[in-house]
Each structure stands twice: as C-alpha cells, then as structure tokens.
Amino acid sequence: MRLGFIGLGNMGSELARHLLAAGHTLSAFARGERSRAHAGRLGLTLLPSPAEVARVSEVVFTMVTAGSDVETVALGPEGIVQGDVPGLVHVDLSTISPAITRAVGRRLAERGIAMLDAPVSGGVTGARAAALTFFVGGEPAVFDRVRPLLACLGQTIFHMGPLGTGQVTKLANQIALLANLQGAAEALLFAHAQGADPATVREALMTGFGASRMLDVLGKKMVERDFAAGIVAALHHKDLGVALELAHDAGLPLPVSAQVMQQLNALMASGYGGQDTSSLLLVLEQMMGRNPQKESAGNSAPRSTT
C-alpha cells in the first residue's frame, strides 16, 4: 500500500522500518532534526507537509507526543485534512485524550477521511521487535482494512470499540502500570532498608502474588541501578496527567493515581524526566535525604540497590 508516516521519533522510526520491510511504499513528514535523521537512515522521501503526505497515501500513521500535536498535524493549515483525499484513513498511534481524538475524528469525517486511534504498549523495545500491543478504536470496517498493517508492527491487536476507546484503554493501562511501578519501587526500598538484598527479594516476589511486569522488567533496572530510558518518564507523566484530568472532569476518585502523580511531579522537578520511569526509586531515596544521582553515576555494572 501507499502509506504515510508522521512522527519518526525513536518508536515511530522503528515502526516505519517494519512497514518498509513488508513491502509498502512510505512517504513521510518530519519536523525535528532527530526525525529527519531517522528518515534519512531509512531512505524515506520527506514531503513538505502532512497535507502532501495525505495526497499520496491510502493510510497515514501519526505518532506524536501530545493532543495539540495531533490537532496540528491532522487539522492545521497544512494538516492531513487539507489533503482532501476521501477514503483516506488516519491511524493515530499517539497517546492523547480520547476527547481530542473524537473531536479530530469528527472534523476528518466531514472531509470523508476515516480515523482510528491505536495507541500502543511495549515501548521502544517492543517497537524494535514488532511486538507491540495495539488498543484500537474506530469503525469495524476501517479496523479490518488497517489490521494487516498493524500486524506488521505488533503481536497483539485489540479492537476496543468506537473511536476514542483505544485511548481510554491505553490510559487505563498507564494507571495500572504506574501504580504497580510505584509499588515495586517502594517494595525494593523497604527490603533494602530492612536489611534484605533487593535482588533476592525481587526474585522471590516474582514467584508469588506480588509479581508484576513492572517488578520484573523495571524492578530489575532498579536493582541494577540502570535508569537509562526505555520509555522516558516524561511521557508517563504526560499520560497520567491526561488520565487524572479526565477523571476529575467525570468526578472519578483515583486516589492511588493521584499519589503516584505527586511522585512523578517530584521526579520531573528533580531532572529525571529524560530517564526511565524506574527513576521513581530515586525520588524515594531523595525523600530519605540520600543523593541517588551520585550513587548512580558511573555504575555500569549490575549491582544491588545501596
């Protein structure tokens, strides 16, 4: 198929690579220097605007940061909607507010352009291995048309319902994920403070009801004090903020998420936003009056938390 891709960051560039490997033709638009570099590495044709990408595509993928970015790329003066291509499908892989998704979808539909929201779980590692999970919202017929493309990018694809339900599912995922991650950080901090080896405690907990993907994957990063970003903490901070705003508007109590958000606020204020979200452990250590940055610096070999 003739495809477009907008948002060639660390994840987007990996997904574009898989689509090219599957034999599809790809046109792209890139704003940032890093995205343009990724496009060059992949040998992609860069067009001057999202509208130009839309004009030569059957399906356009977007993977950008915020809802405002999706609005600009889709509806701006040079956005996808200006391509005026009835029958085009816009697949948004970003994680944004479902309210924005639905508003963008309505505007696109006025021009005969269909939209799916298809946020992903799995991070850069999953994108690199084409092992992502997709949570997709939109019309079933449009989903069926696009599903073979998503199958080039991930192993698990869920159709969640109408447009916006993909975003709802992804935000629910972030709520559960971050609650588990904060719990893992507190459990390992507690274990160390009480004289047990965090690595051994983590291994033991992984055999019981305290096990979680966060304790498994990011708990290991905490034990080894490897805070290099898998998914940068700033993105989790953004996502949970969106979820809490929607919960507030709906009058929903999310007390655990609200507390985790305070920890993420502290993480961002401490300058850890570009690191992995396992840096929540460092926030706890700071609360104890320790200097986790100094302790983590230069530690390339795995070791237990100290």
pLDDT of residue 291: 72
Domain presence at residue 244: yes
**In a shared domain, residues 137 and 228:** no
Distance of alpha carbon 167 from alpha carbon 122, whole angstroms: 15
Domain presence at residue 301: no
Burial string for 34-59 (b: 16+ CB within 10 Å, else e) reads ebbebbeebebeebebbbbbbbbbbb
**In a shared domain, residues 181 and 292:** yes
Residues of the chain with pLDDT under 70: 292-306
**In a shared domain, residues 203 and 127:** no
- Give me the domain span that covers residue 191: 168-296
**In a shared domain, residues 146 and 196:** no
* DSSP H or E run through 120: strand 120-121
| DSSP helix/strand/coil, 31 | coil
Is 294 annotated as catalytic?
no
**In a shared domain, residues 155 and 24:** yes
pLDDT of residue 134: 98
pLDDT tens column, 233-265: 999 999 999 999 999 999 999 999 999 999 999
Question: Does pTM surpass 0.85?
Answer: yes
pLDDT of residue 302: 33
Q: Pick the catalytic residue from 170, 220, 221, 294.
A: 170
pLDDT of residue 290: 73
**In a shared domain, residues 235 and 217:** yes
Please state the domain count of the chain: 2
End of a domain among 162, 180, 202?
Answer: 162
- Residue 103: count of CB within 10 angstroms of its CB: 17
Q: How many degrees, rounded to 5, is the angle at CA 81 between CA 76 and CA 82?
A: 80
Domain presence at residue 59: yes
pLDDT tens column, 29-72: 998 888 999 999 999 989 999 999 999 999 999 999 999 999 99
18-22: long-range pairs with CB below 8 Å, 24+: 18/130, 18/152, 18/153, 19/61, 19/149, 19/152, 19/153, 20/44, 21/152, 22/152
**In a shared domain, residues 137 and 254:** no
**In a shared domain, residues 7 and 137:** yes
